[in-house]
Amino acid sequence: MSAVKVALGRRLFYDADLSIDGTMACATCHEQKRGFADGTRTRPGVHGDQGLRNVPGLANVAWLPSLTWGDPRITSLEAQAYVPLFGTQPVEMGMAGQEPELVRRLHGDACYRQLFRAAFPERGGAIDIGTVTKALASFQRSLVSYDAPVDRGETSPAGAALFRNDCAGCHSGSNFTDGRFHRITSRLRMDRGLADITGRTEDAGLFRTPSLRNVAVTAPYLHDGRAATLREAIAAHGYVYEPAQSDALLAYLHALTDLGFLSRSELSYPDSPCAFLDGDDR
């Protein structure tokens, strides 16, 4: 981690040239105002392929033990970056087999050449897939969100008690996830989840517990986005509450929203192409 690596990763995160046709950046699917999540059930890729799973938020992603809904082997942000960039099942940014083209585009930009030299002096400023993914990972590690009302103890006792009794078994810890894989419905769908990795029948329908940081702004919910609202997501877990209980639990979930995280300028689109080099990091 360094300030210039973060600055470089920030610019890359918002750059649609990382997709084959120049229409999709990382930020296309990870919008700051949505907690770096997405407002669609499953975002289509550059060729119109329907996405397989709902886009998760990125708050405190540096501390998550694994980084996808269904693959516990992906534990580093550098490795995860390969999935949207070069993945083919489904195609997202469509750069599989186009690594030389990606390097050519970035190398053709004078600001990028300077940023890569400053960020990776030990590599001579090399612009390659390794340095691209390291820079992206550095920016994502700066997506820190620990200033929600819940962090300040500003929650109702009733909502906190309901959450503790009914939700915290899986949504535990400071990021409200145990990082483990669970099944919340016996109804199996086309997506087999963890079983696609392990090959074990008993793992079908298991998905990683998502973090609930900023959950009120990251709709829709569940691995396939089928729950349009928090009420629907709660119901999908089999819980039935009286109206007052439901309202209390929803109020607690809304208290997980860090408004500053949703608007901090240093996490948003950089105003100047060479902002960091110009001494302006807005």
**pLDDT the model gives residue 185:** 75
Cβ-proximal residues to 62 (8 Å cutoff; 6+ apart), any chain:
77, 140, 141, 143, 144
Number of residues assigned to the chain: 282
Give me 83's structure tokens: 């999935």
The predicted-structure confidence for 209-248, as pLDDT tens digits, reads as follows 999 999 999 999 999 999 999 999 999 999 999 999 999 9
Is-above-0.85 flag for pTM? yes
Task: For residues 249-257, give the mean pLDDT.
Answer: 98
The predicted-structure confidence for 100-137, as pLDDT tens digits, reads as follows 999 999 999 999 999 999 999 999 999 999 999 999 99
**pLDDT the model gives residue 280:** 53
Q: How far apart are CA 26 and CA 46, in angstroms?
A: 12
Is the pLDDT at 189 greater than 90? The verdict is: no
**What percent of the chain stands above pLDDT 70?**
96
All structural domains of the chain: 3-144+263-267 (1.10.760.10), 149-254 (1.10.760.10)
How is residue 211 annotated by DSSP?
A: P
Is the pLDDT at 145 greater than 60? The verdict is: yes
**pLDDT the model gives residue 275:** 66
Mean pLDDT of the chain: 95
Q: How far apart are CA 276 and CA 129, in angstroms?
A: 22
Is the pLDDT at 259 greater than 90? The verdict is: yes
What H or E segment, with its residue span, contains residue 252?
helix 243-254
The predicted-structure confidence for 24-52, as pLDDT tens digits, reads as follows 999 999 999 999 999 999 999 999 988 99
Residue 208 and residue 222 in contact, taking contact as beta carbons nearer than 8 Å: no
Place 81 in a pLDDT band, splitting at 50, 70 and 90: very high
- Cβ-count burial of 70 within 10 angstroms (0-12 exposed, 13-18 middle, 19+ buried)? buried
The predicted-structure confidence for 2-19, as pLDDT tens digits, reads as follows 999 999 999 999 999 999
Residue among 137, 233, 230 nearest 185 (CA): 233
Give me 144's structure tokens: 């820190």
Residue 207 and residue 223 in contact, taking contact as beta carbons nearer than 8 Å: yes
Residue 57 and residue 36 in contact, taking contact as beta carbons nearer than 8 Å: yes
**pLDDT the model gives residue 279:** 63
**pLDDT the model gives residue 187:** 63
Cβ-proximal residues to 156 (8 Å cutoff; 6+ apart), any chain:
248, 251, 252
Place 282 in a pLDDT band, splitting at 50, 70 and 90: very low
Give me 11's structure tokens: 């610019």
